[in-house]
Structure 1
Amino acid sequence: MMNHMAAILKHSVLRRPLSTAPIFNRAIKRQQRNNIALLENSDEYEYLKDEVARRLVDRLEDIEREFPLALDLGCGSGHLYKNLSVDDGLGRVTKLIQCDSAENLLLRDDLETNTLLETTRLVADEEFLPFPSHHFDLVMSSLSLHWVNDLESTFRQILDTLKPDGAFIGAVLGGDSLQELRSAFILGDQERQGGISPHVSPFMNVADAGNLLSATGFNLCTVDTDFIQVDYPNAFVLMEHLRGMGENHAVNSRGAPVTRDSLLAAASIYQSMFGQPDGTVPVTFQIIYLIGWSPHESQQKPLRRGSAERSLKEELSRE
């Protein structure tokens, strides 16, 4: 039985294709995110986004530079702003432009007056940036760009809006995110319907993210990854929290809607495969962090192939 399950999972893993074909329904995703802003307890679902924003600001602190004008792309309710306002990174950024396509979420909170960080909010689509060339010293994006369809185009637009030697720092959900839920749905559909429909959106892997950043023209690119595990009472509470985060399913080819039988089967399989001694179930979020720089003549360049003054053979012969 376990070998059969493993075979199903092996041939059913959803990996995000790097193409310009629209994978996600952006209108549905925007509506989902606008809807969560209307929930009375919407801030209770923001723990993951707040934590990733904190870790992104930590990476900003490692850069010994000030950024007078910065853009927060896909800012949501202001997770990066909150961390820039209270963290040691305060002062690195003088003015912050926050933009998001979901107006309700963007304008949900009244921003506290901060004399050290001037802030402007703007409704804008992450796929169609309305900013002039060479405008920003820094572009940041935290847990937003994994819902963009043409990520290559968005990266090129980000690069265009950066001043020479400007920095891009981003975080997206990686392909290993929600792997437990994905597996449970695959096996539940197979058990109850004899087929598989996508119920968890695909995300990119680490190698694709780094390659795409380099291919669009960024220099000095670095990529690293974190895994964050969160425990929930059961699979139903997990799915409720994903909706509250605005991270629920939104692909164009939605396939057959999930049936009650498939949902119950998936929850049962989730519990049996991943349940912990205390009865809770874990879920994994893979976070891919990206840093790239707009080209500038002052940046260190890789040595031309064959330009070394001494060969490896000569170095080894000296030992």
Structure 2
Amino acid sequence: MAEGPSPGPSDGKCPLEAIFDQALVEQNRLRTLKSSDAPADFLLKVAADELAERLGVIERHFDEAVEIHGYTGLVAAALQRTGKIGQMARIETDPAFAAPGDAFVSAPLEHLPLEPASVNLAVAPLSLHLTNDTPGVFVQIRRALRPDGLFLAAIPGADTLQELRDVLLQAEVEMAGGASPRVIPFADIRDIGALLQRAGFALPVTDKETYTVRYDSIFPLMKDLRAMGMANPLVARSRKPLPRSFFLRAAELYAERYSDPDGRIRATFSIVYLSGWAPHESQQKPLKPGSAKVRLADALKAKPAG
């Protein structure tokens, strides 16, 4: 998500007009998994709880489910505990993400090895924001669902890391007279909802939850981002190493603009939760134009009782 000590440019080839270096995205995720440092998976735990709660209230059993790029499988496990799922398969970028006993397939972020109409439930936790062809991935998921199958996802939204974006931009403008992208772009909730409709999902629903995490300074925040596998993967990122003075100035700006009375700083994480169904004739349909029993004009003329 943000700039830090960079692992350097990847050797992977990036598609024309790509926003993210997919090879570097995969390297970052795998490096975090193999790191001796404890992973910062608190957002994944939040998403797991939310998605499990939403699945739990649906009066349906899903015989065949798949978790799409869910890192360690934490979300898949939470969903299985709801008792709503028969079999759960997992897709990740590397076999190293598999746990013992997993039904596991390795595949890139943007290419899903799923047969058409092969699953009843697809869940994608905190990974779709890193795809260059997000509409195409939505379409792949839609095709993989059986009629009346459900798609659930959690995607970081537009307000995520707004404070960090602000101070890194200001620090670089002050010190270099210009700025390069340091924090990745995040989609607005309306754009995500439009993607659901564009991909052909029925009954699309999106809502947003905002979480505020507090840190002693900018440095543990950036350490957490690296521990999430979210070092800057932008194709347009600067390859020039940043001096320590840059981060010290960014830390000063962060403390000045976004600290609480106790001196700790705030970091915003916004997560958009979405759901959509593969179309089926049994689903509720909107009324056809002209099918209303009461004219709007007559309803507006109605007098209040009493």
TM-score normalised by the chain length of structure 2: 0.90
Q: CA deviation at 1:262?
A: 2.3
SS of the equivalent of 2:237 reads: coil
CA contact (8 A) 1:234 1:281 kept: yes
SS in 2 for 1:199: coil
Q: Among residues 237, 240, 254, which one is paired with 1:254 in the alignment?
A: 237
Matches within 5 A, 1:107-118: 107=98, 109-110=99-100
From 66, 71, 76, the equivalent of 2:66 is 71
Instruction: Verify the 8 A CA contact 1:31 1:102 in the aligned structure 2.
Output: no
Q: Which runs of 4+ in 1 moved over 6 A?
A: none
- 1:318 deviates by 2.9
Once the two structures are superposed, the pairs formed by residues 6-155 of structure 1 within 5 Å of their partners are: 21-43=17-39, 45-85=40-80, 87=81, 89=82, 91-104=83-96, 106-107=97-98, 109-110=99-100, 119-155=102-138
Write the deviation string for residues 31-60 of structure 1: whole angstroms up to 9, x where unpaired.
0011011122334x1111111111111111
> 1:181: which partner in 2?
164
Q: What is the CA distance between 1:147 and its match in structure 2?
A: 0.5
Q: Identity rate of aligned residues, in percent?
A: 34
The 3-state SS of whatever aligns with 1:242 is helix
Partner of 1:271: 255
What secondary structure does 2:129 align onto?
helix
Give distance in 2, aligned partners of 1:258 and 1:288. 33
Instruction: Say which of 273, 276, 284 aligns to 1:300.
Output: 284
State which drifts further: 268-277 or 247-256: 247-256
Distance 1:102 1:285, change over 3 A: farther
| 110 and 282 in structure 1: CA distance in 2 versus 1, 3 angstrom threshold | farther
Residue 116 of structure 1: aligned partner: none
Mapped partners of 1:62, 1:257: distance in 2? 50
Aligned 8 A contact 1:33 1:102 in 2: no
What residue ranges of structure 1 are gaps of 5+ in the alignment? Answer: 1-19, 112-118
Deviation (angstroms), 1:268: 1.2
More displaced 10-residue stretch of structure 1: 266-275 or 176-185 = 266-275
**Conserved 8 A contact 1:136-1:163:** yes
1:156 aligns with 2:156: no
Once residues 290 and 238 of structure 2 are traced to their aligned partners in structure 1, the CA distance between those partners, rounded to angstroms, is 53
Q: 1:102 to 1:275 in 2, by over 3 A?
A: farther
Shift of 1:272: 1.1
CA distance in 2, matches of 1:217, 1:257: 43
RMSD value, Cα = 1.5
Aligned residue for 1:37, secondary structure, equals helix
- Structure 2 residue runs without a partner (length 5+): 1-15
Counterpart of 1:188, as a letter, is A
Deviations 1:61-107 (A, max 9, x none): 1211000110100120112123135x4x1x20110011111433x13
Matches of 1:22 and 1:306, distance apart in 2: 46
Residue of structure 2 in register with 1:205 after alignment? 188
